[in-house]
Structures are given as C-alpha cells and as structure tokens.
Structure 1
Amino acid sequence: MNDVPVTGRMVKAKVKSQTRKWMNLIYEGKEVIMSAEDITGPVGDFVEVFLFEDKEGTLSATMKQPLVTADTYDWVYVVGGIEPGVFVDIGLPKDILVSKDDLPEDRKLWPLKGDKLFVTLSHDRRQRLKAVPISEWLIDEERDHATSELRSANVRGNVYLHKEGGAAMITEDGVRGFIHESQANFTPRLGQFVEGRVIEVKEDGTINVTLRDERVVAQGKDAEKVLELLQKRGGEMPFTDKSSPEEIDAAFNLSKAAFKRALGKLMKEGLVKQEPGRTYLVQEKNE
C-alpha cells in the first residue's frame, strides 16, 4: 500500500469521463474530480493537473498551476489567521494553512493579512496539504550575493525568519539581510515588509540592515562627539544652543541644527544641562 500523499504536485492523470460540469480522473488508482471551471487547456486521454483536497476533503484537481507546489517555493500572501496558524493564498480555490508549529512562539510576531511568506508545500501527520516556510539552507543556496557598492543603500524586502538577536530578511533583489535587534525600535513580524539601510556588506555576500532613521543614527553619533569634548574639558564647555554656527563648526565640525539635535538628545537623557554661556555634564555638577 502506498502511503505517500498524492496531493501537492502537478501530475498526469487519466481521463475517465466528462460531463458539462465535471471531469472524472484516475491517478494511481484514486478517483479525482475536476470542475469544468478548472479546465484551462486541451483534454486528451491524460491531462496534467495539480492535486489537492477541497474543503470537503474530496480529492480534487485543477489545470491551473498554483504559485507553489511540493517541488517549488515562492512568496505568497497571508490572507488570514486562526488559532492553529495562518492561511496563505497559493492560487487554489482553497487557502492553505501554515501551522503554528512553523510560526514564532510569540503570536505577536505571526504574520498578518497582507504579509508575505516564502513557502513550499508539505503534509501534516494526517497527510493534509500544508504550507511550510522554506529552510535556511535553501535560502543560503538560492540567494544573491551583495557587493560592496550596496553599503549605505536603501533596501526593501520581507522578513522570513526570527533568530537569536534579530530577524532575517530577503531583499527585493534576493539578498539575505540580518536586522539586529539594536537596529530597530520594534520587532518585525514574520512576513512583514520592511524598508531599511545597509550598514555592512559581509564577505559571504549577506548584509546587515538597520531600520532606524538615518537622522536618528547620525544624532546619536553627534551626541557622542559632544560628550567626548565635554569629558576632555573636565565636564564643561562654553558652547550652548545659542552659540554661533561658526563656533559650533570650528569645535565640532557640525552644523548648528545637528549640534542642537545632539544637545537636545543629551539633555533629554539627563546627561547634560545648560546655563547661560555654558553646558556641563550632570554628574560633574553633582560631584
């Protein structure tokens, strides 16, 4: 007895009979039905069809090739979710379940309607068709390799994996990117579309990506520059947000606007305070 599921693949099935509404097929001794609506080409003694079980569990067929099969993989849209998992649209009359066993433990990271998952087809223990996210080794085998010219470029893509320390994405150009948790002010969902900036191109052709606003990143670096000068001057300096652009440029190589943003960040964090004509480190003042 052959216990291997027959669903999930394109196969050649023998035509048994045909009516105006239905076509009856035989594949490996099993009877298969196909709606006339799913007949998209010429019919001979054999037809190439995709096998699946309809909502009633009846072995069914369609001549329409779905977006993914048990032998192929692709990005597909999430169309909804229930307690056991989320459903994806692979181009069949019936949506296919991605089991919660193949989704993050934290339900807040589950994909929402409109997100996209990179999946192939498989079967559960009861031999029902299901969609499963593809494995990391396949990503590594199929991905494109980034070149050094991509550094600082803006990239867009979908998250396909959560791992320790962050999330992995595939860009629209097929490059694997890693988003460290420190490079985002939120944890992106599985399947979520994100836009970021390349901060490192690694030797293996993968990239590190930040989702943080470039101005916010620059603000942090500028604040470090101000702190460094304050520490060198014993915790006090004769520069404030009232200083002239020329004074600020000479001391920090910053525009006045960038200096004010950096100073505002430090004051908001409680690290510095201002008095007329001077700025000082809070800890120095308290000592």
Structure 2
Amino acid sequence: MIQLGRFNTLTVVKHVEFGAFLDGGEAGEILLPRREVDDTVQVDEEISVFIYLDSKDRPIATFRKPKIQVGGFAYLKVVDVNRVGAFLDWGLEKDLMVPFAEQNTPMEVGQSYIVTMYIDSLDLRPTASSKIDKFLVEENNKTFKTNEQVELLIASNTDLGLKAIINQSHWGLIFKDDISKRLSYGDTVSGFVKQIRGDDKINIALEKTTEIRDRQSQQIIDFLVKEGGFAGVHDKSDPNLIRKLFGMSKSAFKKPLVDCIKKVT
C-alpha cells in the first residue's frame, strides 16, 4: 500500500507518451510525469518517489523532495487564501492546504508559519495544520540521551527562552542563558540535549554541556586576568551584576566559577 505524503519505493511498470506508470498496489498504476522521466527510469526497476495528489486528486509521483512530509514540521509561506483555507508553498506544483479550522491564527498571504502535515481522515488528502501542539510529544519517552546531537526548528518565545521542535517530533526548551547567537522563529539549527528533566521534558543547548562549562570557565579566567587577578564579584553577588559582566544568570555562573577555583588552586 502506498503512503501519501511520503517517499515510496515503487516498480516501474511501463513507459507511455506522457511519462511512466508505477505499480501502486491497491492504488493502481501511478503516473510519473514525462518531465521527470529520463534514461534511469527503466521498466521493472524500483525507484524512490514522493507520492501526493494532483489537481484532480489522483495519486502522482515525483522525484522532487518537498519541504515537508507527513508527520514532519516546516516553516512554509502562504501563497493564497480563499473560501476553504490557506495554501502553502511546499515545493511541489499543487499547493498544500491549511483549512481554517487548522489555523492557530488566521493566515495571511506572504507570511510564513510553522506547520505539520497529516492525512485528513475524511478526504484522505495531505493537509497542513498550524496547531502544532496537538501533534508534538511533551515527554521524551526515553528516546534521547544527554549530549545527543539533535536538529531543531525554532518555534516560539517564552519567558524562559525559546521553544524548539526536536528531530521533527518533540518539544524542547533552550534557556536564555544557553542562547549564544541570534535565533528567529522558523530557523533550523543543530543543538544538543542538555538535560532530560524529572517531568520528562527536555532542555536543549546549542553546545554540548561540557563545551558550555569550558567556555564559561575560560570567560571568567579571562576576566580575572584582565582585572589583575581580582574581581569584585562572586557567587553571592547581585544577579544583575553577574549578567552584566558575564552574560549569564547567577545559577549558571556558580558552576564555571567552581571550575575556575579548582584550576587556580
């Protein structure tokens, strides 16, 4: 059985004037349009193609990689809004629809939004939603390890920092003190699992925990050298002074401070 909105491995059945037909099993023969057929598309060969629906809602194949697949998340631009919903550019000829009921806020042409894609249970077509919370997992389910490298999609701001989608599946949080570069809504970056909390939620950093500690420790040492070996700041100092001098919170300051003391004693 084919999977709409995903890449499928299908067998080439025959060539025709307007392309090649692929064996779609229960879905019947699926067209790979002529513009995508070259000498590498041979009868009886298995090829990997993305399956979506054409303008007449018939399954159609393409070698092109869309900006999103079923179950994934992406930052996509609205190219049209009409009486049934908004339509997104996802890299294929037929735009991806977001029904009004699946819009977290009313979408506007020219604006971009983070969405996920699913197969609508009524008309069985690939559909997008910007109500991403209901599609994401809050708990880690023991699938991540500390310092594991992950891919992040920056999704929203909070008082604590930035919320990001981890590996297209889970929510994670990057605390303000761990943000070492400018990040914006919709950015994709690599990061690392910093901590899996007691409530199973995940804290993320842009660097490995050990690298953060090393950098912060060196920052304190450099400050001490600059000040001739003395600094009028310690773990009991005003948090605002610590943040002004080192760009980190008081709690974040204490651990590298201990490392510095160990290095000089």
Query: Under a length normalisation based on structure 2, what TM-score does the superposition of the two structures give?
Result: 0.51
Asked whether 1:157 is paired with 2:185, we answer yes
Please name the residue that 2:211 is paired with.
Answer: none
Mapped to 1, the partners of 2:63 and 2:25 lie a distance apart of: 18
What does residue range 221-232 of structure 1 map to in structure 2 within 5 Å? none
Asked whether 1:129 is paired with 2:126, we answer yes
CA change 1:173–1:24 in 2 (3 A) is: closer
Please name the residue that 2:254 is paired with.
Answer: none
Please name the residue that 2:94 is paired with.
Answer: 94
- Aligned to 2:184, the other structure's residue is in SS state strand
What does residue range 106-125 of structure 1 map to in structure 2 within 5 Å? 109-124=105-120, 125=122
User: Any gaps of 5 or more consecutive residues in structure 1?
Assistant: 159-170, 176-202, 207-287
Query: Segments of 4+ in structure 1 off by > 4 A?
Result: 171-175, 203-206
> How much has 1:172 moved relative to structure 2?
6.4
* Amino acid across the alignment from 2:8: V
Mapped to 2, the partners of 1:156 and 1:41 lie a distance apart of: 43
What does residue range 33-48 of structure 1 map to in structure 2 within 5 Å? 33-39=31-37, 42-44=40-42, 45-48=45-48
* Amino acid across the alignment from 2:5: G
Please name the residue that 1:27 is paired with.
Answer: 24
> How much has 1:87 moved relative to structure 2?
0.4
CA change 1:38–1:134 in 2 (3 A) is: farther
* Amino acid across the alignment from 2:99: S
CA change 1:64–1:205 in 2 (3 A) is: closer
Mapped to 2, the partners of 1:61 and 1:149 lie a distance apart of: 43
Once the two structures are superposed, residues 125-150 of structure 1 have per-residue CA deviations (whole angstroms, 9 ceiling, x without a partner) of 11122112363335373546234265
Mapped to 1, the partners of 2:98 and 2:118 lie a distance apart of: 10
Q: When the two structures are aligned, how many residues end up with a matched partner?
A: 159
Please name the residue that 1:146 is paired with.
Answer: 175
Mapped to 2, the partners of 1:76 and 1:41 lie a distance apart of: 33
Say if 2:19 and 2:37, in contact at 8 Å, map to a contact too.
no
Mapped to 1, the partners of 2:74 and 2:11 lie a distance apart of: 29
Larger radius of gyration: 1
% identical aligned pairs? 18
Once the two structures are superposed, residues 214-266 of structure 1 have per-residue CA deviations (whole angstroms, 9 ceiling, x without a partner) of xxxxxxxxxxxxxxxxxxxxxxxxxxxxxxxxxxxxxxxxxxxxxxxxxxxxx
> How much has 1:58 moved relative to structure 2?
2.0
- Aligned to 1:37, the other structure's residue is in SS state helix
- Aligned to 1:121, the other structure's residue is in SS state strand
Mapped to 1, the partners of 2:171 and 2:203 lie a distance apart of: 13
CA change 1:147–1:39 in 2 (3 A) is: farther
Mapped to 2, the partners of 1:63 and 1:157 lie a distance apart of: 29
User: Any gaps of 5 or more consecutive residues in structure 2?
Assistant: 138-164, 192-201, 206-265
Say if 2:10 and 2:47, in contact at 8 Å, map to a contact too.
yes
Say if 2:172 and 2:203, in contact at 8 Å, map to a contact too.
no
Please name the residue that 2:62 is paired with.
Answer: 62
CA change 1:102–1:174 in 2 (3 A) is: farther
Query: Under a length normalisation based on structure 1, what TM-score does the superposition of the two structures give?
Result: 0.47
Q: Tell me the C-alpha RMSD between the 2 structures.
A: 3.2
Please name the residue that 1:53 is paired with.
Answer: 53
